[in-house]
A = this chain, B = another copy of it.
Amino acid sequence: MPVYAAPLRDYRFCLEEVFDGEAHRALPGFADFTPDVTTAALEEAAKFCQQVIFPLNRSGDEEGCVLENGVVRTPTGFKEAYALFRDGGWPALTCAPEDGGQGMPHMVNVLVEEMAGSANLSFCLYPGLTRGAYVALKRFGTPEQQALYLAKLASGEWTGSMCLTEPQAGTDLGLIRTVATPQGDGSHAVTGTKMFISAGEHDLTPNIVYLVLARLPDAPKGTRGISLFVVPKFLVGEGHRLGARNAVSCSAIEHKMGIKGSATCVMNFDGAAGWLVGEPHQGLKAMFAMMNAERIAVAVQGLAIAEASYQTAAAYARERRQGRRAGTPAEPQAAADTILVHPDVRRMLLTQRALAEGCRMLALWVAEALDISERHTLPAERARAADFVALMTPVLKAFLTDSGSEAANLGLQVLGGHGYVRDNGQEQLVRDVRVTQIYEGTNGVQAMDLLARKVLPENGRLLDTFRDEARAFAAAHRNDSRLAEFIRPLAEALDLLDRATATVLARAPGNPDEIGAAATAYLRLLALAALAYLWTRAAKLALGREGDDFYKAKLATTRFFMQRLLPETLTLHAAIMAGAAAVMELDPAAF
């Protein structure tokens, strides 16, 4: 019953109309990514996702992973699917051409990742961490490390894995205990236990490259004493020949709510040979190079599940007949009308749809800036884009994964009891997407990152990368009567955001708890204001083209967003204004 077809029409609309495809291709290295090339790549990816990994999604969930004698067996079919993924060159999309990569725009890659996530989230987690490992080594690795690993990671012959969390150290990486002892030959002996390690062990590739946070013997306490090490599962010799097995092993896999096709491992490092990546005690900096890329990838997972759940729920609603349209029956000759006649069913489906399409625009906006930050010829443009990415990365991670969870729950609800049973796949989406609100930094941590580290410093300078553009757009269209129904709520949302920002800026110096008390509501308020801006841009493109069903639907969905979803800003603003007192009053002992 679960259905999925990549929304290629919306992809084209976003890439070429909402965003400026022409300008993007003018960035160095992107000239070849013409609409034809991009469309062909997306169609090829869609075929792989729909035909190869989507059919393994339910079976992978039912079967799960098995650990036997330290070896993880992935679900039936994953190995063959991974081989096709590797042979298709998919791991290399955003890797540099000199490493065998395709140097593809992040804007396109985001859509490939969306399709893969919609089709099979568990599968995505095997190649998913490879990119982070590649990025960290590309940026901080020695030439020797780069020669050893980059091409193998880009080709997908080996996968990467990030080993951060320990039982006592989750959000607080300052508590990490894993130690790395210099061996005098340039290597270190890494010893410690890591947990919640996605793709820590599997049977898809002959080698796995771990990037491990650990402490050198002379390390200061806390986060300033953490270094990054590269630890291969099998030591690598001349010509990338695999040598001895390193002293790293998987001692357990987690039994989880979802993503059961993905092995979440407890990894034991028992004096494993590792090599320092980057400077001593600067591991968190290198780690954040990985983490930011991963946060965007996780955000896209949320979007992916929203889209997948919407498609199945809409397909069900078009077929399922229960009850009659209010007033007069829609199809009197049938035993009942389809449930699409019921306004409350439409409310749920439209919420899913508006979230999926809106989150897609938001993801692409950040991906566009990421491309600019890496490639623009003008340093000032690169810097401005990098500021925008820094601002929006936590917003994207938290809002898109929250939206994925909300949309998946709505999709389940549309199917009712048929959504609660496993057969129709909707409940799996709810279980799978739930982890995205947690991993790569819980959404509460994203909100703190946004408010404390991105918005408040320098009197909101980073925020201006968003609000100046949105304000300018609203001002430029203030007198456009056709757009008035969208510009007015957009301007109101921006006003609420400004008031909230000013209030937290004013209160925070007097009471640092004001930041944490406002953070989650503030992140959602900013996200909704950003969506209001993007939806208005989309509506502007659609107006006057209602003869085409695509644009007609886009306008209807914009109106739904503006009238039914955007008003959440009222509540968020009120919650922020309420301040920290009510949150902090209850005695710790009373909880």
- A residues near B (Cβ < 8 Å) are 165, 168-172, 174-175, 195-196, 254-258, 264, 314, 317-318, 321-323, 326-327, 335-336, 338, 340-350, 353, 405, 409, 412-413, 416-423, 427, 430-431, 434-435, 437-439, 442-444, 447-448, 512-513, 515-517, 519-520, 549, 552-553, 556-557, 559-560, 562-564, 567-568, 570-571, 574-575, 578, 580-591
Q: Report, nearest first, the 5 A-B pairs whose CB atoms are least far apart.
A: A343-B516, A326-B512, A567-B574, A257-B427, A563-B578
Contact yes or no, B575 A567, CB < 8 A = yes
**Complex contact B587–A564 (CB within 8 A):** no
- Cβ-defined partner of A578 (8 Å) among B516, B564, B570, B591: B564
Contact of A553 among B327, B444, B586 (CB under 8 A): B586
Q: Please, which residue of chain B has its CB at the minimum distance from the CB of A324?
A: B172
A438 proximity list for chain B (CB < 8 A): 413, 416-417, 419-420
Min Cβ gap A112→B in Å is: 25
Q: Report the Cα distance A586→B264, complex, angstroms.
A: 42
- The answer to whether A552 and B516 have CB atoms under 8 Å apart is no
Residues of B close to A571: CB separation below 8 A: 567-568, 570-571
Q: With a CB–CB cut-off of 8 A, which chain B residues contact A419?
A: 438
CB distance from A246 to the nearest CB of B (A): 25
CB pair B420–A257 under 8 Å, yes or no, is yes
* A372 CB, nearest partner CB in chain B, Å: 32
A175 to B584, Cβ gap below 8 A?
Answer: no
Query: Would you give the shortest CB distance from A402 to chain B, in whole angstroms?
Result: 10
By a CB distance below 8 angstroms, the chain B residues around A553 are 586-587, 590
Contacts of A412 in B (CB 8 A): 257, 434
- Cα A114 to Cα B274 with chains together (Å): 54
Distance (Å) between the CB of A334 and the closest chain B CB? 11
Could you show 26 A-B contacts with beta carbons less than 8 Å apart? A168-B321, A174-B336, A256-B420, A256-B421, A257-B420, A314-B591, A327-B512, A327-B513, A342-B444, A343-B516, A344-B516, A344-B519, A344-B520, A345-B444, A346-B584, A347-B520, A347-B583, A348-B444, A412-B434, A417-B435, A549-B589, A556-B590, A559-B585, A567-B574, A567-B575, A571-B571
Q: How far is the CA of A515 from the CA of B258 in the complex (A)?
A: 37
Task: Please state if B416 and A171 are interface contacts (CB–CB under 8 Å).
Answer: yes
Tell me the bound Cα distance from A549 to B335 in angstroms. Answer: 60
A590:B549 contact, CB within 8 angstroms: yes
Q: Give the distance in Å from the alpha carbon of A434 to the alpha carbon of B349 in the complex.
A: 18
Beyond the given A348-B444, A350-B583, A567-B578, please list 13 additional residue pairs across the A-B interface where CB-CB is below 8 A: A170-B418, A175-B322, A175-B335, A257-B427, A346-B586, A347-B517, A413-B437, A413-B438, A417-B439, A430-B434, A553-B587, A556-B585, A563-B578
List the B side residues contacting A175 at CB < 8 Å.
321-322, 335-336
Question: Known contacts being A170-B322, A416-B438, A438-B419, is A552 close to B590, with CB within 8 Å?
Answer: yes
B422 touches A442 (CB 8 A): no
Residues on B with C-beta less than 8 A from A326 are 512-513, 515-516
Highest count of chain B CB atoms <10 Å: which of A318, A430, A431? A431
CB-CB under 8 A from A421, the residues of chain B are 254-257, 264
Which B residues are CB-close (under 8 A) to A340? 588, 591
User: A42 to nearest B CB, angstroms?
Assistant: 22
- A258 to B419, alpha carbons, bound, how many Å? 12
B413:A517 contact, CB within 8 angstroms: no
A344 to B138, CA, bound (A): 36
Nearest B-chain residue to A508, judged by Cβ: B326
What residues of chain B lie closer than 8 Å to A171, measured between beta carbons?
A: 322-323, 416
Q: How far is the CB of A463 from chain B (nearest CB, A)?
A: 20
A552 touches B255 (CB 8 A): no
B588–A318 CB distance below 8 A: yes
Cα of A588 to Cα of B255 in the assembled complex, Å: 41
Task: Determine whether the beta carbon of A564 is less than 8 Å from that of B590.
Answer: no
Cα of A422 to Cα of B422 in the assembled complex, Å = 18
Q: Are B560 and A586 in contact (CB under 8 A)?
A: yes
Known contacts A171-B323, A175-B336, A513-B326; decide if A255 and B591 are in contact (CB<8 Å): no
Bound Cα distance from A590 to B520, whole angstroms: 34
Known A257-B430, A586-B557: A323·B420 in contact at CB below 8 Å: no
- Please tell me if the beta carbons of B587 and A560 are within 8 angstroms of each other in the complex: no
> By the criterion CB–CB under 8 Å, are B435 and A420 in contact?
yes
A423:B564 contact, CB within 8 angstroms? no
